Amino acid sequence: MRSSADTIATGTSVVPQRHEAARALASDAVMLALACALGLVESWVPSPLPGVRLGLANAATLVVLLKWGWRPALRVTFARVLLVGMLAGTLGGPAFLLSAAGAAASVAAMACAARARGLSPMGISAMGAFAHVAAQLTAAAFVVSTGAVVTLATPALLSCLPLGLATGAVAGALISRTEGSSCPSR
Amino acid sequence: MTRLDRIVIAFLLCAACAATPLSGAWAHASTRGAVAVVRCPAGVRHISLREDARYRVDGLAGSVILEVHHGTLRVVSSSCRDKVCIRAGSIDAPGEAVVCIPNGVTVTVEGDERSLDALVR
């Protein structure tokens, strides 16, 4: 049987924790919704080369990464990949494998880049885009093992750099616009 | 854009330009020309497509006879029921395969110049 002192102690420590958890959940959900919406907008833009996409959904990842750190960024990214995979019906398929590999590599690269002082969101985003495409190409080489992956490497990697810079600019604008909003402390 | 940004982007540009030549050279070095890989219950076996020959492979439900003729490979006879593997015809291009499911035998042609079946975007 618990003493009354115990209940008071747990009561005071639990409430702020729940508060934090709710905040984290809410902010993750907002950024996840943003990432999915941006991903949808991006699917309307025609792509010049197979596999080359605008990477707008990555802007949401970058905002989360720069504002709140790599853990929430990883959570939001994987939730997005899972959600998009479920909605598109590619969950568990080769396309899903490619997007998961790309997402993991880009979050890892951007987290490392964000630690280096002197890189702007644009530079960080370019590194993320490069890592994303490189990981996707590597995964594709394992899945299909065709020479097309080799041929596609240079054009895909070259075109991802300006697109990554553009995504970084979008993320930078998002961060400066939401500067005053409350951030959960993590 | 900061100075470090420009340095990183210049480095990534160089890496992107080098990607196709480097990975092409690596892919070329890791392939050994026209070879068929036979995976059967007993293990993995490599068959050259350069010499005409017949090979007998023991499967789960009997044996599968493979024939290499003028650089193409086909299943001549198989102990399976439906003979799908025989009707699959002959294969020669890298990436092509003949499979006998009842016998648990797959034959794949290896090589670097593979073509895509289809492109979906």
Q: Find where tokens 């998009």 sit.
A: A84
Nearest CB neighbour to A154, from listed B1, B19, B27: B19
Q: What is the share, in percent, of chain A residues with pLDDT greater than 70? A: 84
Q: How many residues does chain B have?
A: 121
CB B102 within 8 Å of CB B117 = no
In the beta sheet, which residues pair with residue B58?
B63
A149 interaction partners in chain B (CB closer than 8 Å)? 23
What's the distance, CA A20 to chain centroid?
A: 22
Name which of A70-79, A83-92, A115-124, B92-101 the model is least confident about: A83-92
Structure confidence at residue A11 (pLDDT): 47
CB contact under 8 A, B114 and A148: yes
CATH number of B35-110: 2.60.320.10
CB contact under 8 A, B5 and A47: no
Structure confidence at residue A4 (pLDDT): 46
Q: How many CB pairs under 8 A join A and B?
A: 77
B23 interaction partners in chain A (CB closer than 8 Å)? 141, 149-150, 153
Nearest CB neighbour to B5, from listed A120, A134, A147: A120
Q: Is A154 on the interface with B (CB under 8 A)?
A: yes
Rounded Cα gap, residues B69 and A143, in angstroms: 30
CB B34 within 8 Å of CB B109 = yes
Domain ranges across chain B:
1-30, 35-110
Nearest CB neighbour to B20, from listed A113, A118, A153: A153
Q: Find where tokens 């160089």 sit.
A: B14
Domain ranges across chain A:
4-177
CB contact under 8 A, B116 and A120: no
Q: Which residues contact B32 (CB under 8 A, 6 or more apart)?
A: B110
Q: Is A45 on the interface with B (CB under 8 A)?
A: no
Structure confidence at residue A3 (pLDDT): 46
Instruction: Using alpha carbons only, give the angle A44, A48, A49 rounded to the nearest 5 degrees.
Output: 115
Q: What is the pLDDT along chain B (121 residues), one digit of tens a residue?
A: 888 999 999 999 999 999 888 887 776 555 444 788 999 998 899 888 888 899 999 999 899 999 998 888 999 999 999 999 999 998 887 788 999 999 999 999 887 665 666 767 6
Q: Which residues contact B35 (CB under 8 A, 6 or more apart)?
A: B46, B47, B48, B49, B109, B110, B111
What topology is assigned to A4-177 in CATH? Arp2/3 complex 21 kDa subunit ARPC3 (1.10.1760)
Nearest CB neighbour to B121, from listed A50, A119, A137: A50
Interface confidence (ipTM) of the complex: 0.75
Name which of A21-25, A48-52, B49-53, B74-78 the model is least confident about: A48-52
CB contact under 8 A, B114 and A145: yes
CB contact under 8 A, B24 and A126: no
* Mean pLDDT for all residues in chain A: 82
CB contact under 8 A, A148 and B116: yes
CB contact under 8 A, B8 and A119: yes
- Selected residue of A53, A112, A119, A152 to mutate for chain B interface (largest B Cβ count, 10 A): A119
Each residue's pLDDT tens digit, A133-162: 999 888 888 877 666 778 888 888 998 999
Q: Is A110 on the interface with B (CB under 8 A)?
A: no
> Amino acid letter at B33?
G
**C-alpha dihedral sign at B28, B31, B35, B41:** negative
Q: Is A147 on the interface with B (CB under 8 A)?
A: yes
**What pTM was computed for the model?**
0.65
